[in-house]
Structure 1
């Protein structure tokens, strides 16, 4: 590999490394936010929180759909559901059109817990973004929109904003 190819490869890897570093930092921040809300009976794992996010995204979602979205085996998801149901964050209901299937729904306490975590995260991000220059904020917004389009091509621009607005107005 010549110097030009090495420079090009390095240039392509820099954004990947930066994005990966941010993801790791956000993971730490999200754990911080989750732990900050642990005054109540909070789920003990990131996996349980991911399960709650999937269920929150679709009211009455079928257990098999959740297993697919989490890329987890049914027994694993069932154990997480057992724990969330035990602390009052989840309810399981029979599927209306197939008695052999189970649908999952967050309870009001589960939704409230997610709302507190999201508010804590939003506060952390808002504080960090406020300290950026307008140019940096614009570049961040543009870069994140491009990254999202590549990672989730099915998501229309603004879906996250609409979903957030819907959650905030439902509270």
Structure 2
């Protein structure tokens, strides 16, 4: 992957390009971890993995809620479920409170697969971070913490951060 473009521009432009390169590298890292597990005879798509993560976070999630979380249509989510169910990673059950709705649960194999992905991903990240010197690790931690706060806040404004607080 090429290094970030350092042609003249604003600091914000350089930072955005650098962040974009990091995101692309992380995509490759996740892809490698996702496809190098013992269950990876058929690699998962990003959408399938996102659905598994959503079900893992909210065991028994309703299909309708999964559509919202994935910002996808019911037919697309249903196809994702078909594939994941065929792989043995997902189960569909009638919703206890509504016969018209379906809930989604991970199987033991689905949980194991996600755990393997997380372990491989984390090991790769740990190796890379360990190769940074202490000052770089500290700067990375501070930068990622600040970025996460910005991404969680509405319109990039963190109400707990005086630098981004809007005057009322």
Query: 1:85–1:108: structure 2 CA closer, same or farther, 3 Å change rule?
Result: same
Q: CA deviation at 1:41?
A: 4.4
**Matched-pair contact (CA < 8 Å) for 1:90–1:105:** yes
Q: Which residue of 2 is the match for residue 75 of structure 1? A: 75
Within 2, Cα distance between the matches of 1:100 and 1:20?
42
SS at match of 2:10: helix
SS at match of 1:24: helix
What secondary structure sits across from 1:59 in the alignment? coil
Could you give the per-residue CA deviations for residues 33-81 of structure 1, whole angstroms, max 9, x where no partner exists? 1121155545531110111011111111111111111111110000000
Root mean square deviation, CA, Å: 1.9
TM-score (norm 1): 0.80
- 2:76 and 2:85 mapped to 1: Cα distance? 14
Q: What is the aligned residue count?
A: 148
Moved over 2 A (4+): 38-44
CA contact (8 A) 1:43 1:49 kept: no
| Larger helix proportion of the pair | 1
C-alpha contact 2:34 2:40 (8 A) present in aligned 1:
no
Q: TM-score, normalised by structure 2?
A: 0.82
For the Cα contact (< 8 Å) 2:33–2:121, is it kept in 1?
Answer: yes
Q: Is the 8 A contact 2:35 2:44 kept in 1?
A: no
1:146 corresponds in structure 2 to: 146
In structure 1, the residue matched to 2:106 is: 106
Match of 2:54 in 1: 54
Q: Which runs of 5+ in 1 are unaligned?
A: 1-7, 155-171
**Equivalent pair of 2:89/2:106 in contact (CA under 8 Å):** yes
Contact 1:62 1:103 in 2 (8 A): yes
The alignment partner of 2:153 has SS state of coil
